[in-house]
Amino acid sequence: MGNLVPFELALFLIAAFTGALVSGIAGFAFGLFASAIWLHVVTPAQSAALIAAFAIVIQGLSLWKLRHALKLSRLWPYLIGAALGIPLGAAVLSWASPPHMRAFIGAALVLFSIYSLVRPKLPNVEGGKFADGVIGAISGFVGGSTGLAGIPVVVWSTLRGWSKDEQRAVFQPVAITIFAMVLLWFTGSGMVTAATVWLFVLGLPAVLLGMWLGLKLYGKLNEATFRIVVLILLLISGLTLLPSAFVT
């Protein structure tokens, strides 16, 4: 569906704007919100490639705003782990069921989100370089097998007791790394066509506008509100993934 009729194009742009708005506020969930509409007007391959490409733009530009919170010494275990996890996740696709994997992740997100929302605040987790590397590997595995890059790091960051800027300065670079590797794989396998590139060009202004507005709203959130926003988005993400178990 490379040539969209006006109504389909409008839906495509609305989804791009909405996904970017949410991602600008919370730092993640662009693909979950955008693909809910995109899959009705573009092919799954186009949707997957566009999610990766737009997510790199959104995460990269918004991360520049948070560059003061970046700590390379904190990031490297996640990035090394993600690089190791992506090929494992991609290999699993040869025998596992991606819909069932998404449903399993969805159930875990729903349970974690509800528990965290019911309790005022979970105790902080100290972690460590090895634990961070394991979370990075899990994120790479999930990204390579389901395309849901960064979700495990988002959950892990909420448990560390970091500020909202510190959380985003960790899970956004990890997501960028995973999406970049996935996009390179898509390009090398021929999944990125001229029609997909044209859709990217058409959607870019809507994405940039949504991201700009989302970052404006993010600046108005305090730490407690940001935590609630992230948990609610994780809950919504989990609920949207649960029906995957019934996809044949």
What are the boundaries of each domain within the chain?
Answer: 6-246
Q: How many CA atoms lie within 13 A of 116 on its CB side?
A: 23
Task: Report DSSP state, residue 67.
Answer: G
Render pLDDT for 69-96 as a digit per residue (tens, 0 to 9): 888 888 899 999 988 888 887 777 566 6
pLDDT number for residue 135: 92
Which sign, positive or negative, has the C-alpha torsion 30, 33, 39, 42? negative
**DSSP code, position 74:** H
What pLDDT does 106 receive? 78
Q: How many Å is the Cα radius of gyration of the chain?
A: 17
pLDDT tens figures, 25-82? 888 878 877 877 887 788 777 887 888 899 899 888 888 878 888 888 888 999 999 8
pLDDT at 27: 81
Residue 201, C-beta contacts closer than 8 angstroms, at least 6 positions apart: none
Helices (H), the chain: 6-26, 30-38, 44-65, 72-92, 98-118, 129-146, 151-159, 164-188, 194-218, 223-241
Q: What is the DSSP string of 136-205?
A: HHHHHHHHHHHS-TTHHHHHHHHHTT--HHHHHHHHHHHHHHHHHHHHHHHHHTT---HHHHHHHHHHHH
pTM value? 0.74
Q: How far apart are CA 25 and CA 230, in angstroms?
A: 9
pLDDT, residue 1, reads 47
Amino acid identity, position 157: S
pLDDT of residue 211: 92
For residue 90, give Cα distances in angstroms to 46, 77, 109.
Answer: 18, 20, 22
The two three-digit tokens of residue 121, written as one number: 């605040």
Cα–Cα distances (Å) from 105 to 144, 176, 196, in that order, read 14, 20, 28
Which segments in the chain show pLDDT lower than 50? Answer: 1
Burial of 162 (0-12, 13-18, 19+ CB in 10 A): middle
Task: Determine the Cα–Cα distance for residues 78 and 5; give it in Å rounded to an integer.
Answer: 42
Q: CB within 8 A of 83, min separation 6: which ones? A: 140, 177, 181
